[in-house]
Amino acid sequence: MYLGSWLSRLSRSLSRPIGKTTQPVWGSLSRSLTLGAQRIPEFSSFVARTNTCGELRSSHLGQEVTLCGWIQYRRQNTFLVLRDCHGLVQIIIPQDESAASVKKILCEAPLESVVKVTGTVISRPPGQKNPKMPTGEIEIRVKTAELLNACKKLPFEIKDFMKKTEALRLQYRYLDLRSFQMQYNLRLRSQIVMRMREYLCNLHGFVDVETPTLFKRTPGGAKEFLVPSREPGKFYSLPQSPQQFKQLLMVGGLDRYFQVARCYRDEGSRPDRQPEFTQIDIEMSFVDQTGIQRLIEGLLQYSWPDDKDPVEIPFPSMTFAEALATYGTDKPDIRFGMKKYVRKQDIAFIRDFATHHFSQEVLPVFLNAKRNWSSPFAKFIMEEERLELSRLMEIQEEDMVLLTAGKHEKACSLLGKLRLQCADLLEMRGVVLRDPALFSFLWVVDFPLFVTKEESPTELESAHHPFTAPNPSDIHLLYTEPEKVRGQHYDLVLNGSEIGGGSIRIHDAQLQRYILATLLKEDVKLLSHLLQALDYGAPPHGGIALGLDRLLCLVTGAPSIRDVIAFPKSYRGHDLMSSAPDSVPPEELKPYHIQVTWPADSEEENAAATPSKNLSS
Amino acid sequence: MYLGSWLSRLSRSLSRPIGKTTQPVWGSLSRSLTLGAQRIPEFSSFVARTNTCGELRSSHLGQEVTLCGWIQYRRQNTFLVLRDCHGLVQIIIPQDESAASVKKILCEAPLESVVKVTGTVISRPPGQKNPKMPTGEIEIRVKTAELLNACKKLPFEIKDFMKKTEALRLQYRYLDLRSFQMQYNLRLRSQIVMRMREYLCNLHGFVDVETPTLFKRTPGGAKEFLVPSREPGKFYSLPQSPQQFKQLLMVGGLDRYFQVARCYRDEGSRPDRQPEFTQIDIEMSFVDQTGIQRLIEGLLQYSWPDDKDPVEIPFPSMTFAEALATYGTDKPDIRFGMKKYVRKQDIAFIRDFATHHFSQEVLPVFLNAKRNWSSPFAKFIMEEERLELSRLMEIQEEDMVLLTAGKHEKACSLLGKLRLQCADLLEMRGVVLRDPALFSFLWVVDFPLFVTKEESPTELESAHHPFTAPNPSDIHLLYTEPEKVRGQHYDLVLNGSEIGGGSIRIHDAQLQRYILATLLKEDVKLLSHLLQALDYGAPPHGGIALGLDRLLCLVTGAPSIRDVIAFPKSYRGHDLMSSAPDSVPPEELKPYHIQVTWPADSEEENAAATPSKNLSS
């Protein structure tokens, strides 16, 4: 079923140039960001300028304009390029004696200084128009200029920015934000979120409710940051999601809730994770799995950027079992299916990878040519089995097939990783399998409700969270074989990344108590308020959360989620600009009744450390 | 100048009934919340119902509808009233034998149980229509009914809610949220914020940027919550506002920033304050004070609820000096000016109040009748002085004037408080001075940039914050008499409450360093990143923050900001529903390298305490 659609997508992707839409053109920012049918915002209301630099066109010829911006570039003291948030415009520096003061200001100000200029929009002389620049037909004949702020020597050039190390970019984030790419990413983020709000609030009657972030620890909430209170020994927790609150809002009759919610997760150092992140958090009463899925499809279609291909809905759906068996993962990248063009020397690499990363020794490799198997493994297999396998896998001439043996989940997972490895190999050879301009959404459904704990295989834990409702047809299994129960959980996958997940929740207090106390052995006291709430007329309800940072990262084609967040933390959780987290004088800890427990070997070292970086850098 | 406008407002307010628009009528919720010219949202998309209970009218006659809701009321097993988020509708319980199962479900389910019913919209019999109920012309003849969740015995009745103690309401917040008033407040809040976003983002090109809440402590940030990190002795702080980030965004060329920002302030126990709160946070480049004021006036006018009188703009403006001299406060309630109808026995009360609250002994009281002064103080004053005072204060017949002596600020402040006391006295007598349906905005400007520290009068501290730019005409005073410098700060006052404040910021690094280090004696190392940023081409910029909770509190006429927040903390900072903050097992503190410092007398007590409330409540 999916093979056909993969192949057609593959052929589409092969016929496209790679990276088509991921590089925004500086200067076209404001055009690409104008809202579909809506009016264009007034970008110059309430301020000293009459226009933005980037918006000027031939239609403005003859107008006197006041512009404010940064000096991007200057040539031979005759013209300079002024930049603001909407693009670039060329300014002619006056050369006549009467304008000596204007010339002095514009020629002496260092690059990246901020100036205000007033002048007339004129046409560029014939032959000097620049068709690559949105304002390339015009230039500004300046009358007055004012230096608003001079720039000191920069740690790096703005225009050459992307070549700097990420640590340097994060340390001078306020300069990094001036780059074309960061401006584009943050403005697109704002716009997509605004459209999501319009869809949810204005079109579908959702209520935007802010829920607290100073909350109580949740059972098993080992990844929750703590916030000491002024009461000795009492702590707030920063929750990983508004899960309990959104369910309580449904009990409270709010009916349709959403929030662009700040969430917190303390995972220590993890690449491409952030200690605080944002999710589009949604909950509805009287809804089923299909209702949530149609809502989200509509949401993404409505908020999708105009400069990308429209989102096609409904999204395909696949069970967890099918995803694991077919793709070896619960988040398949369905942009591509088959593997081709792998060379002999790659095979050793692939086998090494499997041994190294999965400690799984055997990786028999089959090459099929003219229906014969070329493999060291071929001689161990009967002719009948070979034909049956060829039929099951629909092997074509020139195909390569990778086989392995082992426990189902582990073997599938290995092959899934190898599939991505092969895609990497092929793309290194120039075969475009994963077109960045193609966005393939997929629902993955029918997850198991519980998994066995790795460290203690006789105990169960929730596959997602303990509030997920079981599949109604599996409820009887809860009391006999709970590990076989499927949950009403759904994940949304985009190009091989999980961008959202949700579930229909348990609204029956007795069932929730049984699952928490009997099956999961959790401390129900921590959740007594939620259990009580379910007793007082809780409506059936369900919801979902979309990871906004990850979604934006995929939409913009950014290499990291740090590129779609204004002030991200480093992978160690540091703010490299302000050096947070920072030392705190002991007297500021006193009101919170805590003290630092210094590790034995670092005590002296820390006592000597300065609380923050030196000013004279 | 303001006296005339007060008087005209006073007469307006006297001619109006008190509390005109603050009590929403249940059932009219969805009507009053429909957006001006915009389409009405689809409240029943994606879910099991065809319609909401509250939307049904005569125009739906004959339609088969499916409704989901709570059983609000039942009479004689013949009909019941079903409630959902949009209102109430009457359901006829079928009495014929063939519908026995439907009757059983509807008659046996306890009140507040959740049911789904399908039936036909029919006209109520003549004489039984209820004009007070928006759905009062119709009722539902039910065919099928399903019990979705039965309700256990409630701790209080939903419909009679407002008489319960606030502690009980907060403990069962999910039930409290079902009340008409809380539904109205939260939906209005969502709608006002959505309109603000439309105005800022869609009409004026603002970019919604999320800034971190895990940050670094700020100089003098004694009210900042701390968040221990996994590095020994290193802490994040939860900032009181995104002040530094919004300025850095301007340095980064974002041009127009806004955020509905979660802020944190640890003030211990304070009535009507919340440890986390929300502000509409705004910053613009190349703007002046007037630009910000016009922006905010437009914002409030655009987002103002349709069921209130439109906001008139521009708002009046008053200097801090004038506000203090005239109203004895920096946040005057300009809905009323004069005081009348005070009885003799009130005067003792007023004098007691002054002595008690201000330790200010003398409060001479003058009563004027036919130009003669009736006061124990009259004999100490010369005829000439008396006439001059009468002229200055424009004393009319029957006026009462309160005089006091002392330092300007203290004396004014006392009289300002007495003015509000007199208003209370008069309103107890039924004179409406402060019409809750009247919204009087006022800008207060020209605040001093610094104030002397109370505990050390030779030292200065910022009147608002150290980033506020001085008034350009006062800059020379910075180096001679800094206490006389006025700041480019503006407060927005509504009906005597400060609902916002902002300033034009310092964009010159040298000036900022001088103010921080030389005048304020702050540790500039904590702000080195900001000072550095100002050196690299920071544009002139300014902004404002509106307190959303306070604004909504005034708009809805709620007695407390807790009534416009879904899950507020108690005045001691507790979540009474979940009992946060809570104890944390010592092993969960270990990764953060902290331990609790128990106060000597509470150690045993706390060691014995259970970590959370008992489940069996």
pLDDT tens figures, B348-377: 677 777 677 666 644 555 555 555 666 666
Classify each residue of B75-105 as buried b or exposed e, where b means 16 or more C-beta atoms within 10 Å of its C-beta: eeeebbbbbbbbbbbbbbbbeeeebeebbeb
Give B202's contacts in chain A (Cβ within 8 Å). Answer: 35, 38-39, 41, 194
The answer, for A507 touching chain B at a CB cutoff of 8 Å, is: yes
Residue B175: partners with Cβ closer than 8 Å, 6 or more residues away: A251, A252, A536, B154, B155, B156, B158
**CB-CB under 8 Å, A540 with B85:** no
**CB-CB under 8 Å, A48 with B235:** no
Which site among A33, A38, A47 would you substitute to test the B interface, given the most B Cβ atoms closer than 10 Å to its Cβ? A47
Residues 112-131 of B with CB under 8 A from A: 112-114, 116
**CB-CB under 8 Å, B581 with A234:** yes
Averaged pLDDT score across all residues of chain B: 86
Classify each residue of B308-321 as buried b or exposed e, where b means 16 or more C-beta atoms within 10 Å of its C-beta: eeebeeebebbebb
The arithmetic mean of pLDDT across residues A156-185, rounded, is 85
Give B277's contacts in chain A (Cβ within 8 Å). Answer: none
A205-219, A469-483, B210-224, B277-291: which range is least confident on average? B210-224
What amino acid occupies position A167?
A: A
The arithmetic mean of pLDDT across residues B379-401, rounded, is 73
B501 pLDDT higher than 90:
yes
Q: Above 0.95 for ipTM, yes or no?
A: no
CA distance B248 to A129: 35
Which pLDDT score is estimated for A477? Answer: 97
Residue A379: partners with Cβ closer than 8 Å, 6 or more residues away: none
Rounded to a whole number, what is the largest CA-CA distance in chain B?
Answer: 96
Number of residues that this document lists for chain B:
617
Nearest CA in chain B to A253: B178
**CB-CB under 8 Å, A177 with B249:** yes
Could you give the 3-state DSSP secondary structure of residue B163? Answer: helix
The answer, for A50 touching chain B at a CB cutoff of 8 Å, is: no
CA distance A149 to A449: 60
Task: Give a three-class secondary structure readout of A294-355.
Answer: HHHHHHHHHHCCCCCCCCCCCCCEEEHHHHHHHHCCCCCCCCCCCCCCCCHHHHHHHHHHHH
Which pLDDT score is estimated for A407? Answer: 83
Which pLDDT score is estimated for B159? Answer: 64
Which pLDDT score is estimated for A548? Answer: 98
Question: 10 Å Cβ neighbour count for A432?
Answer: 20
The arithmetic mean of pLDDT across residues B29-46, rounded, is 64
Ranked by mean pLDDT, the top range of A592-601, B13-22, B140-149, B453-462 is: B140-149
**Is there a contact between B57 and B138 (Cβ–Cβ < 8 Å)?**
yes
A347-351, B279-283, B308-312: which range is least confident on average? A347-351
B2 pLDDT higher than 70:
no
Following DSSP, what letter does each residue of A367-397 receive, concatenated? EEETTEEESTTGGGS-HHHHHHHHHHTT--T
**CB-CB under 8 Å, B204 with A42:** yes
Give B614's contacts in chain A (Cβ within 8 Å). Answer: 525, 528
For chain B, what percent of residues have pLDDT higher than 90?
66
CA distance B176 to A79: 66
pTM of the model: 0.90
**Is there a contact between A254 and B598 (Cβ–Cβ < 8 Å)?**
no
Number of residues that this document lists for chain A:
617
CA dihedral B587, B588, B591, B597 (to 10 degrees): -80
Give A595's contacts in chain B (Cβ within 8 Å). Answer: 594-595, 597
The arithmetic mean of pLDDT across residues A183-196, rounded, is 97
Nearest to B580 among A183, A216, A233 (CB): A216
B499 pLDDT higher than 70:
yes
A186 pLDDT higher than 70:
yes
CA distance B383 to B381: 7
Angle between helices B243-251 and B528-535 (to 10 degrees): 20
Which pLDDT score is estimated for A412? Answer: 85
Which site among A55, A182, A235 would you substitute to test the B interface, given the most B Cβ atoms closer than 10 Å to its Cβ? A235
B505 pLDDT higher than 80:
yes
The arithmetic mean of pLDDT across residues A47-51, rounded, is 96
More confident residue, A540 or A4: A540
**CB-CB under 8 Å, A38 with B578:** no
Nearest CA in chain A to B540: A148
CA distance A534 to A537: 6
Give A536's contacts in chain B (Cβ within 8 Å). Answer: 112, 151-152, 154, 172, 174-175
Give A47's contacts in chain B (Cβ within 8 Å). Answer: 284-287, 291
Closest by Cα among B315, B305, B281 to B493: B315
Sign of CA dihedral A297, A301, A305, A308: positive
Nearest to A612 among B189, B236, B525 (CB): B525
Q: Is the peptide bond before A470 cis (omega within 30 degrees of 0)?
A: no
Residues 124-163 of B with CB under 8 A from A: 148-152, 154
Ranked by mean pLDDT, the top range of A10-14, A23-27, A185-189 is: A185-189
CA distance B404 to B387: 18
Which pLDDT score is estimated for B31? Answer: 37
Residues 13-32 of B with CB under 8 A from A: none
The arithmetic mean of pLDDT across residues B285-301, rounded, is 98
Residue B417: band (very low, low, confident or very high) from pLDDT cuts 50, 70, 90: confident
Could you give the 3-state DSSP secondary structure of residue A499? Answer: strand
Nearest CA in chain B to A229: B581
Residue B36: band (very low, low, confident or very high) from pLDDT cuts 50, 70, 90: very low
Residue A221: band (very low, low, confident or very high) from pLDDT cuts 50, 70, 90: low
Which pLDDT score is estimated for A129? Answer: 95
A78-82, A188-192, B425-429, B491-495: which range is least confident on average? B425-429
DSSP code for B515: I
The answer, for A272 touching chain B at a CB cutoff of 8 Å, is: no
What pairing do the DSSP bridges indicate for beta strands B317-319 and B441-445?
Answer: parallel
The arithmetic mean of pLDDT across residues A438-457, rounded, is 94
CB pairs under 8 A between A and B: 445
Residue in the block written with tokens 């928490």: A516
A36 pLDDT higher than 90:
no
Phi, psi of A208 (to 5 degrees): -80, 110
CA distance A594 to B588: 14
Question: 10 Å Cβ neighbour count for B290?
Answer: 12
Could you give the 3-state DSSP secondary structure of residue B547? Answer: strand
**Is there a contact between A303 and A199 (Cβ–Cβ < 8 Å)?**
yes
Which pLDDT score is estimated for A494? Answer: 98
Distance from the Cα of A605 to chain B's closest Cα (Å) equals 11
The arithmetic mean of pLDDT across residues A215-221, rounded, is 81
Residue A372: band (very low, low, confident or very high) from pLDDT cuts 50, 70, 90: low
Give B565's contacts in chain A (Cβ within 8 Å). Answer: 210
Closest by Cα among B319, B350, B344, B373 to B493: B319
> Residue B236: beta bridge partners?
B227
**Is there a contact between B423 and B433 (Cβ–Cβ < 8 Å)?**
yes
**CB-CB under 8 Å, B112 with A249:** no
A533-567 tens-digit pLDDT:
999 999 999 999 999 999 999 999 999 999 999 99
Distance from the Cα of B318 to chain A's closest Cα (Å) equals 21
Mark out the alpha helices in B205-286 (DSSP H runs). Answer: 243-251
Which pLDDT score is estimated for B403? Answer: 75
Could you give the 3-state DSSP secondary structure of residue A235? Answer: strand
Which pLDDT score is estimated for B294? Answer: 98
B40-80 tens-digit pLDDT:
899 999 999 999 999 999 999 999 999 999 999 999 999 99
Residue B617: band (very low, low, confident or very high) from pLDDT cuts 50, 70, 90: very low
